[in-house]
Structure 1
Amino acid sequence: MDTSSGVLLPFFDPDTGIVYLCGKGDSSIRYFEVTDEAPYVHYLSMYSSKESQKGMGYMPKRGLEVNKCEIARFYKLHERKCEPIVMTVPRKSDVFQEDLYPDTIGPEPSVEADNWFAGKDGEPILISLKDGFVATTKNKEFKVIKSLMATTSSSSSNRQSDSVALQNEVNELREMVEQLTKRVSDLESN
């Protein structure tokens, strides 16, 4: 797909089936459509500019302007600036384009961390972009795990004793510095 000697930065959009290839030190973005039928990868086009990129970032779908048919937005890192690069589909209609914006992956996790560590898996939670992205905040329940409380309280008492010992050492050093400062002052006055 690419023969550059720099680091290849691939970004895949599962909603449209497009993979974007950027290269560190390159000044272009090549994009390909990925399909289930041979030859599987089809070259679409290329974005090119004069300045090469140091790095590249990719905006999630929920951050795009759907009323302007924006299908991808990149952030191209230069030596001293970050340049946004917007990919749009040229359409005159300002009506929501369902073919460009199928339900996409939202910000909410499908599995909580403790369940994931326990081996559970889940499908991503999809959201519609028809009315634009509206952030929803769920109140997370704060859980106290009692088995960890004993460990925490014993380590807390250890930290308190360490803190007292450290404070004593600081006080001793402070007294020593004061004595040495007084001695130097006395020697200078003689």
Structure 2
Amino acid sequence: MSNQDYISRSPAKKKKKPQKKGKKAQPVATVKTKIVGVLVILLLCGFAYGLWALKNSPETKTPIQNAPEKVTESKKSPDKKANSLPKPPKEKWTYVKDLENKQVEVGEYEVEQGGPYKMQCGSFKTQKQAEVLKANIAFAGLEAIIQPSTGKNGTWYKVALGPYPRKRMAEKDKNKLKRNNINHCQIWLWK
């Protein structure tokens, strides 16, 4: 038996029902669509009638006028009383007078400075890796330094930024580096 190629073969054509000449197929309207259509027409007619009724109503033609106040003889007074303000009410609370007489004690204290801070962003065995990180930090708009450190395990190259007089400034630069996808920076006291 031979294999058949189903992909390149054209799809089978559907048989159509023969139609009478001169007549087109009309969509059949259901009872539900007829009821919805009638309701929409009735609502539009009701809305239009309401707008027409508001337009032609005599109540909406005249503006609303407030009845004039009756002027009594007690309200008639010289110009002094008309322009003066009434007396302020008697104060129920005593905190207003207490605040006027309150003495504020000012404490004398000294703010301790933590010292200069540095931010270390990496420590590498080769200087080339440290130079790559320093270049990435430079692309972020900050200037880094490479400090060689010799210990038991050989020479390590530390990439650091600083010194910063306040820790808040170091945190600001740390967030700037995080936005540029340079993570794992630590803030230390400068030693």
Range of TM-score over shorter length? under 0.3
| Higher Rg | 2
Higher relative contact order (CA 8 A, sep 6+): 2
Q: Larger % of helix: which? A: 2
Q: TM-score, normalised by structure 2?
A: 0.18
